[in-house]
Amino acid sequence: MKLKTTLAGALLATSVLAAPGIQAADYAIDTKGAHASINFRVSHLGYSWLEGRFNDFSGQFSYDEANPNASAVEVEIQTASVDSNHAERDKHLRSGDFLDVDTYPKASFKSTGYSADSGVLSGELTLHGVTKPVEIQVTKIGQGDDPWGGYRAGFSGTTEFQMKDFGITKNLGPASETVYMELHVEGIRQ
């Protein structure tokens, strides 16, 4: 009888640990369904905002609701996909003055840690051939079943950095030195 009870307890513990939302899950970022975006804005001479996005990127993340500090994220961006809704400006953004997409066709982010207490995701951003630490302020939007039989989780985040820190030295004046990023990520559990 004692063996049966111990075995039943072990099976119960195993099934609880394997329940959805309890153990870490891997998610693919849903870029095909247009449920994720990487957006940026830069002050235009201090008079208005230049806004844009990157249309071609991919990535994945791991999220464990029971232990969110173990979360991890990796994203790769095709820099030539920059889109500011103005063809001539996009051509300039792709040039050696800014992204230099012929030399640096990809940018990437890889997390190095997450603090659930502060909501800060730390990681390494590689842009324009330079890798620097950045922090992203993250907010969980939600998670749950989708209408197609899958399971999704979504987050948003914000960060900012100086262009010169990544070797982009085109001087548009002090009001235009900072890039503000807004990120929206919806992942499909794999």
Return the pLDDT at 6. 32
- Under DSSP, the state recorded for 164 is G
Is 122 in contact with 111 (CB distance < 8 Å)?
yes
Return the pLDDT at 172. 86
Picking from 57, 56, 66, 62, the residue whose alpha carbon sits closest to that of residue 21 is 66
- Under DSSP, the state recorded for 149 is S
Handedness of CA 51, 55, 57, 58 (dihedral sign): positive
Terminal-to-terminal C-alpha distance of the chain: 40
Structural domains of the chain, with CATH: 21-189 (2.40.128.110)
In tens digits, what is the pLDDT along the chain, a chain of 190 residues?
Answer: 433 333 333 333 333 333 444 457 999 999 987 899 999 999 998 999 999 999 999 999 999 989 999 999 999 999 999 999 999 999 999 999 999 999 999 999 999 999 999 999 999 999 999 999 999 999 999 999 999 999 999 999 999 999 999 999 998 888 999 999 999 999 999 9
For residue 58, give both structure tokens: 């991919």
